[in-house]
Amino acid sequence: MHYDDELINETIALASSWQHQANRLHLEFDQEFYSIMNSIQKYPQDKIFLIELLEVIFATKSNKRIAHVLDYLIEKYGIADFFTKTQKALLFLFQHSTKNIPDVSVPFFQEYIKNEVKKLLVYESQLDEFLERKDYQEVKTTINLMHGLTMNELEAQRAIENYIRELGNPYVKAISVKISSIDSMMDLTDFDGSVERIVHKLTLIFRQAQKYTVNGCNKLVFIEMEESTTLPIIIESFKQLLNKEEFKNFKAGITLQAYLKVALEILENLILWMEKRHEKKGEKIIIRLVKGGSLQKEYTSCVLKPLPLATFENKIHTDTQFKKMARRLIEEQFCELCDVHIATHNIFDLAYIYCFAKQKRQLERLGFEMYEGINESLKIAIQNQSKEVITYSSVLLRDDFSNAIRFLVKRIHDLTSSCSFLSHAYRLQVDSDNWVEYKKQFLRSLQTDELNLEEEHFLCENEPVTDFRVAHNRTWLNSALQQYNEGNESLKNNEQTIEFETIQGVSLKLDIQQKIDWLEELIVNIANHRKEVVFALKKDVVTNDKEISLAIDVLHLFINALKVYGEEFEFNVVSKHYKIIIDESFAFNDIITLLVSVLMFEHTVILEGNRHIASLLAHLDRLFTQSQRLTKRFFCLYSMIKEHTAVDYVIQKNKRMKKVFYISDISNKELAIRTIFNSSLKNCLDYWGSIILLLQKDVYHDEKFLQRLTNSKNIKDKNILYNNKQIESICVNDVYEAVDLINTNPTYMSASIESLDEEEIEYFSKRCLNSHLYVNKTLECESKYTLYDMFNHIDFYLPKESFECLHYFGFFTHVNALQRQSTEVKKTQTLLDDLIYLTPFFKDELKAVACSYEQAYQTIFHQEHEFRHFQIEKSVIRYIKLNRILLVFSDKDDIKSLLSRMIACRVVGIEFSIYCGNNEKLRMFCVQHRSTLFKKEEDLIEEDLKAGIELKVYDRVLSTSNIEPIEEIYMSLLIKPVNLDGRVELRNYFKEQRYYSLSHKYGIKTEQQKGHLC
């Protein structure tokens, strides 16, 4: 308990004094700036408009394209209220006249915006003038160089050169360094290698700072703190760097973020290190305390991986820890170890820490830092009354405005978010409602130092991946790697002779509880052998570990389904024999999904692999055969063994499938490149044979874009190979040509668009017919589904590849059929009545069928179904009806089956042709009622299918008879009996499309955007 009434009263009095003076100052600069922010806060749509305006205005060199999108935005959102009368007049003039002369109007707007944002950042070309003015005002300044995303070591080297160049500037006294800008390969699973590399790079920067003296000390270099996944590497790199003898007397700084749950633990660890440094006569360091700057990204990252949330969800806990860390550092016992810089704009926190330091007689060790251009009145008030304030200024390198977008979006969010102190800072009045509320929050954060972590609740149902931010997990990794290298040498040397026991397939019937017990046992087996499986998979450790967690998720999915539906979950199927052929590119979760799907649906399975995955096959053999329940239904075969068991189906990857990206000329090229490599090549390419890049003409000929694309992975030329996967670049004129190209190529199974033009996005998302559509999917995340609709609103995320596997075996169709269906009967259409009453024998049954089909069409297939809306990502399932199908009937089918499928086609609105084969009864029925059964473009095929019928004209063949597979429509050949339940049957008449979109690319959700963490 640290609740000192005298200290509290002094704090509130000082905060009131500062605020009164700030209100009296009311700088014209602040008035103009905050009037804009207040308007944006009042009208959230203005915030969206401003963010989208900033994105597009510098997105391409084509003024015509920018003018077109700008006109669309004004038409969509209207002219925002925060604009002045003059600005509104200019926008009105643009909309009605000057948009037709874009080479005049667009450069004017660009210059206007550049001039306006000078309040928040500094252009490199004006840096000397800015710093000289700050020196004249006797204001200390720390600069932060705004680099773009560092995608390769060439760009990392350029960033190092930028830091070294600016440190040589006589006006620069202090600089902040982001480790992610100087190293593109930070990896917790290569902890020692990452630290060694970063220490070497920082040494070059520190040596440059050491050459110059400012007030008897070297130029200050601060190490910025970034996402929690990089935290251990940054801390260790900082300590190892300053442990070098050449930096014994070097004064440096590091930033700590109070919103991290482990922040206090890190601080105590740093204190121990500082004490050892002091014992060796080392120079004291500076610790800059901030509350945290990447909360939205931390939320997103922890759910998508999934990982435990590293930050506090409750802001009170962050505020409590922030003050606790400050008090700890200000204690007199640490006066020789470090100085403390407090970086916040919260007036109560600043006043409290100032009064505490004054009470401890440690004011000379205390510094305040505030952003340049934000709440300047308060900054001057504090400097006049109490303490010097250091300005933290962001510098735009090469005046490249594209690097400023992310920074500006975050500042706008901070200044307009309803939960941010800055959103009320300018109009704050002592004793106003806002003042009283912030004072209550301040007092509440002081009421206890013991954070009640039980109040922290972050629901994440999925199996978490191994958290390599934790030291003992990294130790486990190193130990496991060593054991693997030593213990499996004989396995690797004798791969050619490995054989697995094969058991004759025996149909083993299990009841529901036995299946649940077996799945739970399998989960335990996988968890216990996680270490072995991690290294048996032929990918990087992080990817392997994630795939193991996803495999456990799939098993939990089966268990949930069995528990929810109980004995209803019985499968009346004929046992089949499956062979699954896998290679080193298969994801572990997909292997488990396939195996369990086959076994759960009462089939037997043979798993076959090549010599490169002999170790994985051995582990899979142990994982499944350790169970006492399903042992006799699983086989594991090595490819060099000649097996004799007859199989009904062979499952293997289709290497012909391609993933296609359309990159518009008005897109964020930097994020597009990261999407191509991080989201596709690194994570998803195992599922696709190759990648196609459809580049709009300006992008295709953009040398800067192509250079970054090439340098990102040391790729040469436009047609390139990466990990033996072909990547081809194709030039297209516009989105219309791109969509036509995608829809006419059946091998393009996944399509992604990177564009800032909403009209382009709308056309792409509505006209593109691929199975998977992605819109601006620039976060490094896997596409998953939330299956709460099926399992009593259980929040559960499933990778899309596992989703596909379960669909293959009819899992979701079966579950869907178990759900209670509405008994509401709708009036059938006249067109259906003609079919229903065509024969009196089945009219009641056919009427029920028609009602079931119509109801399913309206409730399931005629609308989008949102399976996930998390934070800024939306995932939906769409059903795209086919244009034309062929219905093939066997000699066992009756007239009811024929009419049922015709009714399904009528309900959906699909043209069809019918082939009756040897079923003479059906053929004669069709001939007799031809005028009633068939429309103009529909007909009965009476010649033999083998006689050269043009089957390519059909989108799908629905057959109840075994016919020869047709290569051109191999994805659509379905041999299924008629199902009288519309939710099951109508799936055959649609192409299912998964649609993923990102509401915003910077991890910031607007006030209008909805969604929950889990």
628 token code pair: 């006492």
Mean pLDDT of 915-934: 87
556 token code pair: 């939990």
Tell me what percent of the residues of the chain surpass a pLDDT of 90: 22
Q: Which residue has the tokens 């709308």?
A: 762
pLDDT given at position 731 = 92
Pairing state of beta strands 252-257 and 990-998? unpaired
Is residue 752 within 8 A of residue 777, CB to CB? The reply is yes
**368-395, pLDDT tens digit by residue?**
999 988 888 888 899 888 888 999 999 9
* pLDDT above 80 for 471: no
- C-alpha distances in angstroms, 819 versus 555, 561, 783, 786? 21, 12, 26, 17
Out of 597-606, 634-643, 768-777, 795-804, the most confident range is 768-777
- C-alpha distances in angstroms, 502 versus 48, 508, 612, 988? 62, 16, 20, 37
* pLDDT above 70 for 356: yes
Is residue 404 within 8 A of residue 393, CB to CB? The reply is no
pLDDT given at position 31 = 66
Question: Would you place residue 407 in the very low, low, confident or very high pLDDT band (cuts 50, 70, 90)?
Answer: confident
* pLDDT above 90 for 1001: no
Q: Could you give the domains of the chain? A: 44-80+83-117 (no CATH), 123-403 (3.20.20.220), 471-661+786-818 (3.40.605.10), 825-1013 (3.40.605.10)
* pLDDT above 90 for 640: no
* ω into 306 cis (within 30 of 0): yes
* pLDDT above 60 for 717: no
The better pLDDT of the pair 595, 790 is held by: 595
pLDDT given at position 49 = 83
Question: Would you place residue 54 in the very low, low, confident or very high pLDDT band (cuts 50, 70, 90)?
Answer: confident
* pLDDT above 50 for 696: yes
**304-321, pLDDT tens digit by residue?**
666 777 888 888 899 999
Question: What 8-state DSSP symbol labels residue 225?
Answer: P
Chain-centre distance for alpha carbon 974: 34
Is residue 849 within 8 A of residue 903, CB to CB? The reply is yes
Out of 263-272, 666-675, 966-975, the most confident range is 263-272
Mean pLDDT of 200-209: 96
**103-150, pLDDT tens digit by residue?**
888 888 888 888 878 878 899 999 999 999 999 888 999 999 998 778
Q: How many residues does the chain have?
A: 1014
Is residue 1 within 8 A of residue 448, CB to CB? The reply is yes
338-347, 624-633, 874-883, 899-908 — which is least confidently predicted?
624-633
* pLDDT above 70 for 861: yes
Mean pLDDT of 556-578: 65
Is residue 796 within 8 A of residue 461, CB to CB? The reply is yes
Distance CA 239, CA 923 (A): 84
Is residue 1008 within 8 A of residue 44, CB to CB? The reply is yes
Is residue 550 within 8 A of residue 305, CB to CB? The reply is no
834 token code pair: 């003609």
Distance CA 196, CA 968 (A): 54
Is residue 796 within 8 A of residue 462, CB to CB? The reply is yes
Pairing state of beta strands 217-218 and 213-214? antiparallel
The better pLDDT of the pair 460, 677 is held by: 677
Is residue 325 within 8 A of residue 264, CB to CB? The reply is yes
pLDDT given at position 1004 = 44
Neighbours of 726 (CB within 10 A): 13
Question: Would you place residue 456 in the very low, low, confident or very high pLDDT band (cuts 50, 70, 90)?
Answer: very low
**10-37, pLDDT tens digit by residue?**
999 999 999 999 888 766 556 666 677 7
Mean pLDDT over the full length of the chain? 76
* pLDDT above 70 for 154: yes
Distance CA 251, CA 512 (A): 67
Question: Would you place residue 643 in the very low, low, confident or very high pLDDT band (cuts 50, 70, 90)?
Answer: very low
pLDDT given at position 1008 = 34
**86-105, pLDDT tens digit by residue?**
878 888 888 888 788 888 88
**611-638, pLDDT tens digit by residue?**
667 777 777 777 776 655 444 444 444 3
Is residue 613 within 8 A of residue 584, CB to CB? The reply is yes
**For residue 693, what are the β-bridge partners?**
661, 729
pLDDT given at position 212 = 92
Distance CA 723, CA 833 (A): 58
Is residue 839 within 8 A of residue 895, CB to CB? The reply is yes
Mean pLDDT of 292-308: 70
Residue 376: phi, psi to the nearest 5?
-60, -30
Residue 814: phi, psi to the nearest 5?
-65, -45
- Please give the model's pTM, rounded to 2 decimal places: 0.79
Q: Which of 164, 184, 149 is nearest to 403 (CA)?
A: 149
**487-508, pLDDT tens digit by residue?**
555 444 444 333 334 333 334 4
